[in-house]
Structure 1
Amino acid sequence: MYQIEQLGEDLFRIALQRHLEFSPEALRAPTNVYLCGPAPWALINAGHPSVHAEDLSHALSECGVRADQIDRIIATSWEIDCVGGAQNFPNAELFVLSPDMFAPGDLEMIIERRRAALRERTSELAAALEGFDAGIVHTWLERFYPRQSRALNFVPLRQGARVRAGRLDLQVHPCSGITAGHMALFDEASAILFSGDVALSGLPARMDDAAGYATSIERLAALNPERALPNHGRPFERARWTLVRASRFLTNTLSSAASALFNGPTIVEFIERDRGYELHEPVELLWNFELFKVLFDELVRTRTIQAEGEGVTRRYGVDVDDPRAEVRSAGSNPSSSSSS
């Protein structure tokens, strides 16, 4: 399942639409791989190593390119759906952001850190929420984060470095706040920005530092890009305006979140009540929990709100009550609560 869109001379967006069962909504948008030519051909990102492998191969063939003709892959992050698929192109040279400039790299170690953190959070949610199906989450984690190489050969990139991708002369711009080792790529001549996982509409799929993320958006907007090509979803024209709008959206989200936390909800309560729907899928709940925890902890850091308690029972707001209160709102089963 894929779509091919020609964006310019020898520049194609391959939108890979397949995703795993139970994937959170944030990961259901098409995953973009960009084919840059002419030969020798380059890919911006390589997709998921298993979920996207067959579709990407078919899409390249439709573009008249064989897998063994891919000369290089430039991965915008160390996330599994950016760098993982590089294993399917053994003849291609891999470029990844690596400020310490070490190569080869232990990709499995990086992925295992992510798995382990999500497994730990899953256990906390299962202990606190009655009916939370941790088994579904663990199965999804093992499939989305399959075992990876412990000796990944790559060309390390750092801030300001330039790398060719077909006709494009791309400059590296690290983006903090999303995931470690994330970068955007900018071609000054065409004003094209490969914006990575920066969200051009709404909240990002992943974020580990809200302040760093906000700064990254501002820095990318200062490049005055005309077109933004993200890792997920459709491209955007008027890219600078889109990035400025994304920055304002993040600011407004933080402000409105603070006003919605007047009664000290837990993150689970906020997700289920203030976002206007209930999350019945455990992977969806886990993914949203991780995102909103980053946002709420930023509000605490800036002393916009208070917080009490720890883990999934932590309460955020102006009038924070007993952190040992029930995780869910009034009327829920007391047995589903957990003390911090």
Structure 2
Amino acid sequence: MYQIEQLGEDLYRIALQRHLELSPEALRAPTNVYLCGPAPWALINAGHPAIHAEDLSEALSECGVRADQIDRIIATSWDIDCVGGAQNFPQAELFVLSPDMVAPGDLEMVTERRRAALRERTTELAASLEGFDAGVVHTWLERFYPRQTRTLDFVPLRQGARARAGRLDLQVHQCAGITPGHMALFDAESATLFSGDIALSGLPAHISDAPGYATSIERLAGLNPERALPNHGRPFERARWTLVRASRFLNNTLSSAASALFNGPTIVEFIERDRGYELDEPVELLWNFELFKVLFDELVRTRTIQADGEGVTRRYGVDVEDPRADVRSAGSNPSSSSSP
């Protein structure tokens, strides 16, 4: 399934809606590929190499463009749903952020790092949570992160570089705190910002470094964009205000988290308390665990809260109870929901 939205003269948003069964909620928003013209045509991102391939080809045809007419692809990150689909356009030049202007040419190495980190976390969760089905997660990981090429041919970009995409003259703005190799692209003439995986509403789907992520939002707001075109979800007008609001939301989340961490919950307990029920979907639990661990560990680093223990059973909050208690303890109250 896909939807096509014309955003301007020779500028289209192709929202690819197909996702794998059991994908976490954070990945269920449409994945956006932007078609920029006129010829020679360019894509901002190329979608997932398998999940989106057929839909993207059909959408391009509906826009009057053949796949072999795509001249270049600019991927906003090394994530599988940004750069992975480039393999379906072998004639197109691929542009990706590469601060040292050389590496990484091994896309499988980048993908395997992500797979391995999630596999390791899955093992930890399975060892601590009764009933956690690690097999379901491993199957999902292999399908969502399929094997990639070890010899990627790409044109390297770095901070401040410019790249043409149809009518747009895009300047590269490296974004820390999300995933390695992430960037936003800004066309000054139209004040259009391709904002990548910066969350314009709520929390991001993935974050690796909270301070770096917060700084990235502030820097993009400083460009005074009028329109923000994200990798996932709908476009936003009043983009500068939207980014300022996103920055405020993140800061408020971090500053108010301590009050939500009563009774020193583990991350799993916090997630289930926030949702109001026991989360039985293992992929969803894994994805949320990774997000909140980064945020909570940042609170510990800044001494906003204290923590006790390690790994899945680590407890966060001011009033830390017995760290040896079961992760899903009888004393927790899943019906008491308190969002940061």
TM-score (norm 1): 0.96
Question: Distance in 1 between the 2:62 and 2:327 partners?
Answer: 51
Q: What is aligned with 1:264?
A: 264
- The 8 Å contact of residues 184 and 196 in structure 1, kept in 2 or not, is answered as yes
- The 8 Å contact of residues 98 and 104 in structure 2, kept in 1 or not, is answered as no
Q: What is aligned with 1:336?
A: none
Shift of 1:103: 5.1
Q: What is aligned with 1:41?
A: 41
Question: Distance in 2 between the 1:20 and 1:153 partners?
Answer: 28
Q: Which runs of 5+ in 1 are unaligned?
A: 333-340
Shift of 1:302: 0.5
The residue identity in structure 2 corresponding to 1:6 is Q
Shift of 1:275: 3.6
- The 8 Å contact of residues 77 and 83 in structure 2, kept in 1 or not, is answered as yes
Question: Distance in 2 between the 1:88 and 1:52 partners?
Answer: 10
Q: What is aligned with 1:70?
A: 70
Question: Distance in 2 between the 1:320 and 1:41 partners?
Answer: 57
Question: Distance in 2 between the 1:203 and 1:132 partners?
Answer: 25
1:112 aligns with 2:112: yes
The residue identity in structure 2 corresponding to 1:191 is A
Question: Distance in 2 between the 1:108 and 1:243 partners?
Answer: 33
The residue identity in structure 2 corresponding to 1:73 is I
Q: Which runs of 5+ in 2 are unaligned?
A: 333-340
Question: Distance in 1 between the 2:50 and 2:85 partners?
Answer: 7
Q: What is aligned with 1:84?
A: 84
Q: What is aligned with 1:231?
A: 231
- The 8 Å contact of residues 258 and 317 in structure 2, kept in 1 or not, is answered as yes
- The 8 Å contact of residues 227 and 239 in structure 1, kept in 2 or not, is answered as yes
CA deviation string 1:117-173 (max 9, x = no partner):
000100110111111111110000000000000000100000000000000000000
How is 1:1-340 mapped onto 2 (pairs within 5 angstroms)?
Answer: 1-102=1-102, 105-330=105-330
CA deviation string 1:20-39 (max 9, x = no partner):
00000000000000000000
CA deviation string 1:81-136 (max 9, x = no partner):
00000000000000000001105600000100100000010011011111111111
- The Cα RMSD (Å) is 1.0
- The 8 Å contact of residues 103 and 154 in structure 1, kept in 2 or not, is answered as no
Partner SS, residue 292 of structure 1:
helix
Shift of 1:74: 0.2
Question: Distance in 2 between the 1:195 and 1:202 partners?
Answer: 15
Question: Distance in 2 between the 1:104 and 1:26 partners?
Answer: 27
More deviation in 231-240 or 274-283? 274-283
Question: Distance in 1 between the 2:298 and 2:153 partners?
Answer: 36
- The 8 Å contact of residues 104 and 153 in structure 1, kept in 2 or not, is answered as no
Identity of aligned residues (%): 90
- The 8 Å contact of residues 24 and 283 in structure 2, kept in 1 or not, is answered as yes
CA deviation string 1:190-248 (max 9, x = no partner):
00000000000000001000110000000000000000000000000000000000001
